[in-house]
Structure 1
Amino acid sequence: MVDFEIQENHSLHQTGGLSSKRLVVRRGRAFKVTLMLDGRPWEPSSQRLALQISLGDMSAKMLVNFTDKWFDTDRWSARVYPGDLRRRSITIQVFAPVRSSVGLYQMLVHIDDAQERRSFLVGTFVLLCNPWLEEDPVYMPLDVLLDEYIRSDYGVVYMGTDVNVVQRPWSFGQYEPDVLEACLQLLQVSPQHLSNKHKDYVLRADPVYLSRVMCAMVNSSDDMGVLEGKWHGTYKDGVGPTEWSGSADILHRWLASKGKPVRYGQCWVFASVLCTVMRVLGIPSRVVTVFNAAHDTDGNLVVDEFYSSTAEKLTLSKDSVWNFHVWVECWMQRPDLGLGFDGWQVVDPTPQEKSAGTYRCGPCPVAAIRGRCLRTPYDAAFLYASVDADIVRKMVRSGRVVSKTTDSEWVGRAIFTKSVGSETAEDLTESYKKIKVRQEQLMGKLTSKSTTLSHPFHHSAVSCLQSGTLSGPTEEDGSSLDVSIAVDGEPTAGESIDLTVTLTNKLAHHRVLLEHLNAQLKEFNRSPQKSFWKSHKEVTVPPFEVFTLQHSIPASEYESFLSDDDIVKVSVVIKDVNTKERVLATQDFNISTPKISIQVEGGDTIKVKKEHTAVVSFTNTFNKGLSSAVLTVEGYGLLQGKQDARLSVLQPGEKMEKKVSIMASTKGTKMLSATLSHGGSSKVLSRSFHKVSVNS
Structure 2
Amino acid sequence: MALSRHFNVKTDDLTILLQVEDEEIRSDDTTAKIQLSKDENEVKKGWNAVLKSQADTFITMSVSSPADCIVAKWTIQVKTATKTEAGIESSDYTLPLPIYILFNPWCENDNVYMADANHREEYVENDDGVIFVGTSDDIKRKGWSYAQYDKDILDCAVYLMKNIGMIKGRARGDPIATTRALSAAVNNDIRGEISEDHGILVGRWNAPYTDGTLPMDWFGSSKIIQQYYGTKQPVRYAQCWVFAGTLTTVLRALGIPCRPVSCFTSAHDNNGDLIILKDEESIWNFHVWNEAWMTRPDLGTEYSGWQIVDATPQEMSSGKFQCGPASLAAIYNGDMDLPYDNKFVFAEINADWIQIGPDKKVQLVNTTSIGQKISTKAIGSYEREDLTNCYKSPEGSIRERETFLKALVKSESEKYREYYQIEDLNKDVKFEIQPFGDVMIGQGFEVVLNIKNQSTTSSHHVTGRLDLSTETYTGRFASSVKRQAFDVHLKPEQKTKVSVMVTFEDYYEKLVEQNYFRVQCEANIAEIHFDYYMSEPFKFRVRNPKVNIEFDGSETLTLELTNPLPIALNNGKFRVHIASQIEEEIKLNQKIPPGQAAQATMKVPHLSPGRYIVRAQFSSDELHYPEGYTTLIL
Tell me, yes or no, whether TM beats 0.5: yes
Identity of matched residues, %: 26
Contact 1:563–1:686, Cα closer than 8 Å, also in 2? no
- Aligned equivalent of 1:145, options 116, 119, 131: 119
1:437 CA displacement: 6.3
Count of aligned positions:
600
1:509 CA displacement: 2.3
Contact 1:563–1:685, Cα closer than 8 Å, also in 2? no
Report what 2:481 is aligned to: 532
**Match status 1:279 vs 2:222:** no
- Aligned equivalent of 1:77, options 48, 54, 59: 48
SS in 1 for 2:431: strand
Contact 2:349–2:391, Cα closer than 8 Å, also in 1? yes
Report what 2:2 is aligned to: 36
- Aligned equivalent of 1:553, options 494, 502, 512: 502
Deviations 1:262-305 (A, max 9, x none): 11111110011111111111111111011111111122211111
Report what 1:620 is aligned to: 563
Structure 2: distance between partners of 1:537 and 1:229: 41
Q: How does 1:318-357 map to 2 (within 5 A)?
A: 319-357=281-319
CA pair 209-403 structure 1, distance change in 2 beyond 3 A: closer
CA pair 693-210 structure 1, distance change in 2 beyond 3 A: farther
Report what 2:35 is aligned to: 63
Report what 2:333 is aligned to: 371
Deviations 1:468-524 (A, max 9, x none): 654152454231322222331123222222333232324322222223111111111
- Aligned equivalent of 2:552, options 601, 608, 613: 601
Deviations 1:375-421 (A, max 9, x none): 1100001111111111112344xxx6587322111211221111112
SS in 2 for 1:255: helix
Deviations 1:92-139 (A, max 9, x none): 211222222211111110112334431211242111122122222212
Report what 1:249 is aligned to: 223
Q: How does 1:169-184 map to 2 (within 5 A)?
A: 169-184=143-158
**Match status 1:673 vs 2:616:** yes
**Match status 1:106 vs 2:75:** yes
Structure 2: distance between partners of 1:388 and 1:118: 64
Structure 2: distance between partners of 1:621 and 1:233: 24
The one-letter code of the counterpart of 1:273 is T
Structure 2: distance between partners of 1:371 and 1:640: 45
- Aligned equivalent of 1:434, options 381, 384, 393: 393
1:638 CA displacement: 4.8
1:464 CA displacement: 8.1
Report what 2:277 is aligned to: 304
The one-letter code of the counterpart of 2:226 is H
CA pair 67-323 structure 1, distance change in 2 beyond 3 A: same
Structure 2: distance between partners of 1:573 and 1:557: 22
Report what 2:445 is aligned to: 497
Contact 1:487–1:498, Cα closer than 8 Å, also in 2? no
Structure 2: distance between partners of 1:209 and 1:249: 26
Deviations 1:233-286 (A, max 9, x none): 2111111111111111111111111x1111111111001111111111111111
Contact 2:571–2:587, Cα closer than 8 Å, also in 1? no
Contact 1:639–1:662, Cα closer than 8 Å, also in 2? no
Report what 2:350 is aligned to: 388
CA pair 224-403 structure 1, distance change in 2 beyond 3 A: closer
Deviations 1:201-245 (A, max 9, x none): 311221111111211111123523211111112111111111111
The one-letter code of the counterpart of 2:381 is S
Structure 2: distance between partners of 1:98 and 1:157: 32
Please, what TM-score do these two structures have when normalized by structure 1?
A: 0.81
1:42 CA displacement: 4.5
Contact 2:67–2:110, Cα closer than 8 Å, also in 1? yes
Structure 2: distance between partners of 1:546 and 1:134: 64
| Unmatched tracts of structure 2, length 5 or more | 190-195, 398-402
Contact 2:283–2:474, Cα closer than 8 Å, also in 1? yes
SS in 2 for 1:204: helix
SS in 1 for 2:74: strand
**Match status 1:232 vs 2:206:** yes
Structure 2: distance between partners of 1:484 and 1:158: 27
Structure 1: distance between partners of 2:626 and 2:408: 47
Report what 1:473 is aligned to: 419
Deviations 1:137-168 (A, max 9, x none): 21222111112111111221111111211211
Report what 1:487 is aligned to: 435
| Unmatched tracts of structure 1, length 5 or more | 1-34, 194-199, 307-316, 439-459, 603-610
Q: How does 1:123-138 map to 2 (within 5 A)?
A: 123-138=97-112
SS in 2 for 1:83: strand
**Match status 1:589 vs 2:528:** no
The one-letter code of the counterpart of 2:39 is T
Contact 2:515–2:543, Cα closer than 8 Å, also in 1? no
